[in-house]
């Protein structure tokens, strides 16, 4: 759990292997997830309702379709919540799920995994808010200890609908990941990471060609590895040091792109 219960960190899929599809249509995943030191922020008080502020407030629903309100209703703990929306959406970085998880932490509510999955596949891992290997449809979350990874997050300011990306996936039946080298140093972990995949990256690049440009831009600033998170459109680059990540973020800054240096853990 994050030390600050009102902080909703960006969730980054360092890997995302699609390993099957159930009869009910849900895809099976094998993913290593890390969390950034930047994200949205929530405060809660007596009453009910949702107010959204921040640079990405526009387009966030405040009615009963919002995951924050749904989670609190499910927990039987309605509150008047103020959400400072700092993360782009939709972005493949679990913003809505992380917000809902933070809301549950704020009120001290614990929901069973089955209930969390009704809200979304990312809810179980976002409730834990720490590095993990996530499998199945999101119900299996095994904590990991990863080295701190200096990184840059880049959202190229385009839409990448999740449904269209999954529909364009060449096959839902792909190999899972190799065993994760836990408690390793950063070079060892990066060598392992480079040999893994995000199976949604190719279909996402077809649906939104700007993702390829974002990945090329990250590689052009010396990223040791550049990959898309989730179903897109946010991409990440991993660097040798926090200084290199900050320098890369400064070079990548341009109109229409959301670019932030961060550390993933």
Q: Give the residue ranges of the annotated binding site.
A: 88-98
DSSP H stretches of helix in the chain: 67-75, 95-107, 113-119, 123-128, 162-167, 186-194, 201-207, 210-220, 242-252
CB 8 within 8 A of CB 102: yes
Distance from chain centroid for Cα 131: 11
Catalytic, 30? Answer no
| Residue 233, CA distances (Å) to 15, 119, 137, 146, 161 in order | 15, 21, 21, 24, 9
Reduce the secondary structure of 98-151 to three states and give it as a string. HHHHHHHHHHCCCCCHHHHHHHCCCHHHHHHCCCEEEEECCCEEEECCCCCEEE
Strands 49-53 and 27-45 come out as unpaired
The helix-helix angle for 242-252 and 210-220 (nearest 10°) equals 130
How many whole angstroms separate alpha carbon 197 and alpha carbon 175? 10
In this structure, what DSSP letter does residue 179 have? P
Set 30, 40, 99, 122: catalytic member:
122
Instruction: Kindly state the tokens that stand for 128.
Output: 């834990």
Catalytic, 185? Answer no
Set 11, 30, 40, 199: catalytic member:
11
Distance from chain centroid for Cα 146: 16
Q: Which residues are annotated as a binding site for ATP?
A: 88-98
Which positions are catalytic?
A: 11, 122
């Amino acid at each position: 759990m994050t030390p600050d219960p009102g902080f909703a960190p960006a969730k980054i899929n360092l890997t995302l292997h699609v390993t099957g599809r159930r009869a009910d249509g849900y895809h099976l995943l094998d993913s290593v997830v890390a969390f950034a030191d930047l994200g949205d922020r929530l405060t809660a008080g007596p009453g009910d309702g949702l107010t959204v502020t921040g640079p990405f407030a526009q387009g966030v629903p405040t009615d009963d379709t919002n995951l924050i309100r749904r989670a609190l209703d499910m927990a039987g703990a309605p509150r008047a919540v103020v959400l400072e929306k700092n993360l782009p959406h939709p972005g493949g970085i679990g913003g809505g799920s992380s917000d809902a998880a933070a809301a549950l932490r704020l009120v001290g509510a614990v929901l069973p995994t089955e209930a969390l999955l009704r809200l979304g596949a990312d809810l179980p891992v976002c409730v834990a808010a720490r590095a993990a290997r996530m499998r199945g449809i999101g119900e299996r979350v095994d904590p990991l200890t990863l080295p701190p990874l200096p990184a840059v997050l880049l959202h190229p300011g385009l839409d990448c609908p999740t449904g269209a990306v999954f529909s364009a996936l060449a096959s839902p039946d792909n190999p899972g990941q190799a065993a994760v080298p836990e408690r390793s140093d950063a070079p060892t972990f990066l060598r392992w990471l480079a040999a893994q995949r995000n199976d949604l990256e190719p279909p996402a690049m077809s649906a939104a060609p700007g993702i390829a440009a974002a990945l090329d831009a990250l590689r052009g600033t010396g990223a040791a590895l550049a990959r898309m998170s989730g179903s897109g459109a946010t991409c990440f680059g991993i660097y040798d040091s926090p200084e290199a990540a900050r320098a890369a973020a400064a070079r990548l800054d341009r109109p229409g792109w959301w670019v932030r240096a961060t550390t993933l853990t």
